[in-house]
Structure 1
Amino acid sequence: MIIELRTYTLRIATTRDFVARYAAEGRDVQVEHLGEPALYAVSDIGDQNQVIHAWRYRDFADRDARRAALEADPRWLAYKRRSLADDHVQQQSTAILREVDFAALTATTGAKA
């Protein structure tokens, strides 16, 4: 398995609006093509104004196919145009990580804090 980790650094005081637009307009179509994210979070301590999300794929071919389908979906393209027009994102970084057998991300329920 591979994990695609994306970090968006946003302009100060735009995180709430960025996340709200994504929740209202982008999330459903992205999940339809990519599946549920392994992580979707905002920074709290440390670097601020960041949205971090991670997507799990079987391999690069799986990633390429799913992302191509997403990028061909007119609903996603419309969301991206509106989101880009908001001009919230200052920087994006993307990393591809390989899971190791003993520490693979797994969906858990009822995790204790």
Structure 2
Amino acid sequence: MIYEERDYRINPGMLGEFVKIYGEYGLPIQKKHLGSFIGYFVTEIGELNHVVAIWAYESLADRDARRAVMLADPGWPEYLVRVKGLIDIQATRILKPVPFSPLQ
């Protein structure tokens, strides 16, 4: 099992709008196509205006195949238009649990 952590820095003053649009338009498409949805978080302390999403996949190949299908979904470009200009920077990390991690 691998975990994908996607960290988005949202433009100041736009966090609420981004979360609302994602919850209404982006998340349903992703849940339809991607791996297991682990969680969605906003920063409360530290560097503000961040959203972190975590997804689980069987492997990198599983992730690649699922993302290809999601990107071909006609609703995905429509979602991207809705969030255009709200995201400042995006970072993605692939995490692999160690043997004693409760998440495998």
Give the structure-2-normalised TM-score.
0.93
Unaligned runs of 5+ in 1: 107-113
Q: Which moved more, 1:74-83 or 1:41-50?
A: 74-83
SS at match of 1:31: helix
CA contact (8 A) 2:38 2:54 kept: yes
Give the structure-1-normalised TM-score.
0.86
Identity among equivalent positions (%) equals 40
Aligned to 1:94: 92
Unaligned runs of 5+ in 2: none
CA distance in 1, matches of 2:103, 2:42: 18
Cα deviation, residue 101, structure 1: 2.3
SS at match of 1:82: helix
CA distance in 2, matches of 1:97, 1:24: 27
Cα deviation, residue 104, structure 1: 3.7
- Runs of 4 or more consecutive aligned structure 1 residues displaced over 2 Å after TM superposition: none
CA distance in 1, matches of 2:39, 2:14: 20
Cα deviation, residue 36, structure 1: 4.1
